[in-house]
């Protein structure tokens, strides 16, 4: 995710820059919000035993276990030609994701700020998917995507984690308060694969769903921001290639 922090720096140079990418992971990885404590609250031995990598996100929010999912990063100059505030940018990113999910057959929607919700979790208090907050994306009463943002004076970065299977809920195996988190996740979070009725560990179906979602996300982002996205290597943006922990990166920029 260090590459995404570099993308935020790049778009912040403006005056009208936007870049979007989707990626997966070559092994299960626990990502922590930029202010989240670690290792307090976590079983480091269990993480090591199961081969779980640990990374720190440049964005906020709480912990996510990235495992059989689509991750996307969207960064743009603000206010840019789209004349967006930071909150407006985050809302557009969530709306693009909800639109892409609907195209995949999941009746998703951005959670409205007017909808009564519990107070946001403090850093490290609970996993990201243990509760849904304003501006995130839900479907059928469940949280189906976790979103987090970071803003510079002239730019914005939004991350989203979209689980394809139930593996993301295994995060409870590595927390000291696992029982409490397990109940919250079981009642409030689902993957899009589960909502679509995919059988467990259906790798071929998951791969096709990931590709379909990535393509629909690119279309939704292009339409909402009024841009033409083109495939581009990181070097074209003057950036070094991303760390090897990422697999199958796809970068698109304006």
Question: What would the 3-class secondary structure string for 105-121 be?
Answer: CCCEEECCCCCCCCCCC
> What value does the mean pLDDT of the chain take?
88
Q: Which residue has the tokens 């059989």?
A: 68
State the residue range of the domain holding 242. 2-253
Give me the number of domains the chain comprises.
1
Span 191-197, average pLDDT: 95
What's the CA angle centered on 159, arms 158 and 165, to 5 degrees? Answer: 150
pLDDT at 1: 85
CATH number at residue 179: 3.30.930.10
pLDDT in tens, 103-142: 999 999 999 865 545 555 565 678 999 999 999 999 999 9
């Amino acid at each position: 995710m260090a590459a995404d922090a570099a993308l935020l720096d790049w778009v912040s140079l403006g005056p009208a820059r936007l870049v979007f990418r989707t990626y997966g992971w070559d092994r299960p990885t626990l990502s922590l919000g930029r202010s989240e404590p670690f290792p307090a609250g976590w079983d480091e031995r269990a993480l090591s035993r199961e081969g779980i990598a640990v990374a720190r996100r440049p964005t906020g929010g709480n912990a996510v276990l990235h495992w059989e999912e689509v991750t996307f990063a969207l960064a743009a100059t603000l206010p840019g030609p789209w004349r967006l505030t930071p909150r407006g940018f985050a809302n557009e990113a969530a709306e693009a994701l909800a639109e892409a999910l609907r195209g995949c057959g999941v009746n998703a929607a951005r959670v409205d700020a007017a909808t009564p919700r519990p107070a946001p979790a403090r850093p490290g208090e609970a996993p990201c998917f243990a509760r849904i907050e304003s501006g995130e994306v839900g479907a059928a009463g469940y949280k189906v995507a976790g979103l987090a943002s970071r803003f510079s004076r002239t730019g914005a970065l939004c991350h989203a984690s979209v689980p394809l299977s139930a593996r993301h809920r295994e995060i409870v195996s590595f927390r000291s308060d696992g029982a409490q988190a397990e109940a919250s996740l079981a009642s409030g979070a689902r993957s899009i694969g589960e909502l679509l009725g995919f059988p467990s560990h259906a790798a071929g179906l998951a791969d096709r769903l990931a590709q379909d979602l990535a393509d629909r996300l690119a279309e939704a982002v292009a339409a909402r921001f009024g841009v033409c996205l083109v495939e581009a290597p990181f070097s074209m943006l003057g950036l070094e290639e991303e760390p090897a922990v990422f697999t199958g990166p796809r970068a698109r920029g304006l």
